[in-house]
């Protein structure tokens, strides 16, 4: 099945969130209308739990929580979930391109810029990558700099390295 990425609805809906423990720290899963709209790690720009995440309900999105457990155990390579992306049209194009980068591989900002039809927009891709609201499922950690350099990650470089090692990219 895979991810089902949808644009944001035109009308506001109620948000709720769940907190989940993980090897990279607490994660906040934010749900809106039955779909995941944010997955945030503590210490990231919007780490758990801004008021915009809504009321807490740790029973939300059990299928996503189970898949995260399987991912961190090294048994899941592709998430299966409904995801609603709130962002500019350019950001949404970038996030859709990120979602196409397979487990265990990496891409560069330049490659993503070419994929979204903006070959000179590597820096803009970097900015959109850093604002990815659904980290892990939309794998912004798989983006590296030209020449294979590890570059910034909203959740911190130690987490990026951990995730790339988990996926077998870094040995």
pTM of the predicted protein model: 0.90
Domain 4-83 part of CATH 3.30.160.70: yes
Are the C-beta atoms of residues 32 and 14 closer than 8 Å to each other?
yes
At 47 the pLDDT is 55
At 48 the pLDDT is 52
Q: Residue 143: name the closest of 166, 164, 117 by CA.
A: 164
Mean pLDDT over each residue of the chain, to the nearest integer: 90
pLDDT digits (tens, 9 = 90+) for 52-96: 888 999 999 999 999 999 999 999 999 999 999 989 999 999 999
Is 140 one of the catalytic residues? yes
**Which of the 8 DSSP states describes residue 40?**
E
β-pairing verdict for 55-56 and 107-108: unpaired
- Quote the distance between the C-alpha of residue 59 and its chain's center: 21
Domain 88-166 part of CATH 2.170.130.10: no
pLDDT digits (tens, 9 = 90+) for 33-49: 899 999 988 777 655 55
At 163 the pLDDT is 96
At 97 the pLDDT is 96
The total number of residues written for the chain in this structure: 171
Are the C-beta atoms of residues 27 and 40 closer than 8 Å to each other?
yes
Where along the chain do its domains lie? 4-83, 88-166
Are the C-beta atoms of residues 49 and 28 closer than 8 Å to each other?
yes
**Active-site residue identified among 28, 29, 39, 140:** 140
């Amino acid at each position: 099945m895979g991810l089902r990425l949808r644009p944001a609805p035109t009308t506001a809906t109620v948000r709720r969130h769940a907190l989940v423990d993980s090897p990279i720290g607490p994660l906040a899963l934010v749900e809106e209308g039955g779909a995941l709209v944010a997955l945030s790690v503590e210490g990231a720009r919007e780490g758990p739990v801004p008021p915009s995440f809504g009321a807490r309900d740790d029973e939300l999105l059990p299928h996503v929580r189970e898949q995260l457990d399987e991912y961190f155990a090294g048994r899941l390579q592709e998430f299966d979930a409904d995801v609603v992306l709130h962002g500019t049209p350019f950001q949404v194009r970038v996030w859709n391109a990120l979602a196409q980068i397979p487990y265990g591989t990496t891409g560069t900002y330049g490659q993503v810029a070419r994929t979204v039809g903006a070959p000179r927009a590597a820096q803009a891709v970097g900015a959109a990558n850093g604002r990815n609201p659904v980290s892990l499922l939309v794998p912004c950690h798989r983006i590296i700099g030209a020449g294979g350099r590890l570059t910034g990650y909203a959740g911190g470089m130690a987490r990026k390295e951990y995730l790339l090692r988990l996926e077998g990219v870094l040995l």
